[in-house]
Amino acid sequence: MSIHPSAIVEEGVKLGAGCVLHAHAVIRKHTVLGDGVVVHPFAVVGGDPQYLKFDPATASGVRVGAGTVIREHVTLNRSIHAGKDTVVGARCFLMAGSHAGHDCELADDVVLANNVMLAGHVTVGSFTFVGGGAGIHQFVRIGEGVMVGGLTRLTKDVAPFLLVAERDEVPGFNVVGLKRRGFSRPTISELKDCYRTVFAGGDPRKAAAARLAAGVTSAEARRFLEFFAAGKRGFARPTVDGGGSDDDAG
């Protein structure tokens, strides 16, 4: 473990083996950092939520998984609920100036590029990349393996394995991202078929449920379809058609 000069570690903090806290990093009370977490200068982990009704006496925190890197000026706000945590998974990379509001949940291997803004209660699935300057509305769900373009504005849920850009616009499927993760050709083909079915028109929830009932082969296709059973904000949809792939994006 390495704690550099002028770093601040408040009471009740738990630091895993091999953590590195650079100068002027601030780790607020009740924060838990997993093994090998690196926090760069002027990042604030566990700060009070930006919520007007919040009682600072609330016992809540932030949990960060092993191997995550938190760059300069990142802010991770603690939960607004007693006994609860804002959660960042393992091996995440939070670039300079990015922000995760209270009660966000980031799965493993998530990347937030510079100046990403996650409002409260946002969830982000594993292996998702959020481009620089993107703004995400509260309670939005972003599935696994999504590529969010820079400066995107999201007010609706984004199903797994999609590309999304501009304001809730889905240009296609994140095929390159799937290939980089080693997804098989049959799995990618089945995912494309599910994508076309769900976004062919009408209610995506009903279409996804019907396709799921008909049966799928891969676990990935099942996760894609099951995503539509939850959420309250509606779904980002394709901008042109339901054909659904973009082999040059990822």
| Whether residues 140 and 20 fall in one domain | yes
> Is the alpha carbon torsion for 143, 146, 151, 153 positive or negative?
negative
Residues 108 and 163 in one domain: yes
Straight-line distance from the first to the last Cα atom of the chain, in angstroms, rounded to the nearest whole number: 36
User: What gap in Å lies between CA 96 and CA 86, rounded to an integer?
Assistant: 19
Statement: residue 244 has pLDDT above 90: no
Same domain flag for 75 and 194:
no
- Flag whether 60 is in a domain: yes
Q: Answer yes or no: do 77 and 138 share one domain.
A: yes
Overall domain count for the chain? 2
Cβ 191 vs Cβ 227: under 8 Å: no
Domain boundary among 174, 190, 219: 174
Residue 172 near residue 246, CB atoms below 8 Å = yes
Q: What is the pLDDT of residues 140-180, one digit of tens each?
A: 999 999 999 999 999 999 999 999 999 999 999 999 999 99
Positions marked active-site: 102-103, 120
Rg (CA), the chain: 19
Residues 65, 49 share a domain: yes
Q: Are residues 182 and 170 in the same domain?
A: no
Task: Give yes or no: residues 77 and 28 share one domain.
Answer: yes
Q: Could you list the residue range(s) of the whole structural domain that residue 106 is in?
A: 2-174
CATH number at residue 46: 2.160.10.10
Let me know whether 161 and 230 are in one domain.
Answer: no
With respect to residue 159, please indicate whether it lies within any of the assigned structural domains.
yes
Do 217 and 112 reside in the same domain of the chain? no
Q: Is the pLDDT assigned to residue 242 strictly greater than 70?
A: no
Residues 226 and 127 reside in one and the same domain: no
Write b or e for each residue in 32-59: b if 16 or more Cβ atoms lie within 10 A of its Cβ, otherwise e. bbbebbbbbbbbbbbbbbeeeebeeebe
Confirm whether 100 is domain-assigned: yes
pLDDT-derived band at 248 (thresholds 50, 70, 90) equals very low
Co-location of 28 and 82 in the same domain: yes
Query: Can you spell out the DSSP letters for 141-206?
Result: EE-TT-EEPTT-EE-SBB-TTEEEETBTEEEEE-HHHHHHTT--HHHHHHHHHHHHHHTSSS-HHH
CATH number at residue 206: 1.20.1180
Say if residue 241's pLDDT is above 60: no
CA dist 247 and 243 (Å) reads 12
pLDDT tens profile 177-215: 999 999 999 999 999 999 999 999 999 999 999 999 999
Give mean pLDDT, residues 205-229.
97
CA–CA distance, 119 with 136 (Å, rounded to integer): 6
Which tokens belong to 81? 């609920």
